[in-house]
Amino acid sequence: MSKTRVEAFSDGVIAILITIMVLELKIPHGDSIRALAPIVPAFLTYVLSYVYLGIYWNNHHHMFHATTRINGKILWANLHLLFWLSLVPFVTGWMGENHFAATPTAVYGGVLLAAAIAYFLLQSVIIADQGRDSKLAAAVGQDLKGKISPILYAVAIPLAFVREWAADAIYVAVALMWLVPDRRIESTVTD
């Protein structure tokens, strides 16, 4: 079974998610630069979520590049990942509108955690199908970043109720950690 449509469908969903988040940036009614002030939190949250969805798209791109075939389990594991990603615009809007209040920040982390687990599941299902000696298994290797990220989210969620800014700092730090493109897969694949 070909992987083209799975890639095309995932591209479509992520492209739409990344784009409809911008609809949460409500157009201010005034025409002065100060009219933009109330939407600064929403804008910052948008940037953060844009980077996260960009990371997922990039990693998804790398992962399927190293994938040779598809089965029913992979299709559903992929839809499961897209489900959690589809909640990103909602939690982004909630966190942005409430100026980084504790609960929305924790829920934001919860969605990131669920997406990270879904990504890990998808990766495992693919490796299980392609075999331990496959390109993807070699490329993923120890998958240190993939294992640290959910732990950091799990720390950030309760932390949001104590020091909200610390939870935000963790989200930003994890994003920065991933912004470095996944050279492991890239180099393995190019070789």
Residues that bind its own copies (CB under 8 A): 1-2, 5-9, 11-20, 22-25, 27-29, 31-33, 35-36, 47, 50, 54, 57-58, 61, 65, 71-73, 75-76, 79, 82-83, 86-87, 89-90, 93-94, 97-98, 101-104, 107, 179, 181-183, 186, 189-190
Please give the full DSSP string across 15-64, using - where no structure is assigned. Answer: HHHHHHGGGGSPPPSS-SGGGGGGGHHHHHHHHHHHHHHHHHHHHHHHHH
Q: Give the residue with the Cβ less far from its own copies, 98 or 134.
A: 98
CB 51, min distance to its own copies, A: 8
CB 72, min distance to its own copies, A: 3
Q: Give the residue with the Cβ less far from its own copies, 84 or 119.
A: 84
Strands annotated E in the chain: none
Q: Give the residue with the Cβ less far from its own copies, 50 or 151.
A: 50
CB 78, min distance to its own copies, A: 10
CB 21, min distance to its own copies, A: 8
Long-range contacts of 174-177 (CB under 8 A, 24+ apart): 174/112, 174/149, 175/48, 175/51, 175/52, 175/55, 177/145, 177/148, 177/149
Q: Give the residue with the Cβ less far from its own copies, 125 or 137.
A: 125
Backbone angles phi, psi at 101, to 5 degrees: -70, 165
Q: Give the residue with the Cβ less far from its own copies, 76 or 151.
A: 76
Q: Are 45 and 95 in contact (CB under 8 A)?
A: yes
Dist CA 176 CA 135 (whole Å): 26
Q: Give the residue with the Cβ less far from its own copies, 79 or 121.
A: 79
CB 62, min distance to its own copies, A: 8
CB 32, min distance to its own copies, A: 6
Q: Which residues contact 168 (CB under 8 A, 6 or more apart)?
A: 100, 105
Q: Which residues contact 69 (CB under 8 A, 6 or more apart)?
A: 1, 3, 129, 130
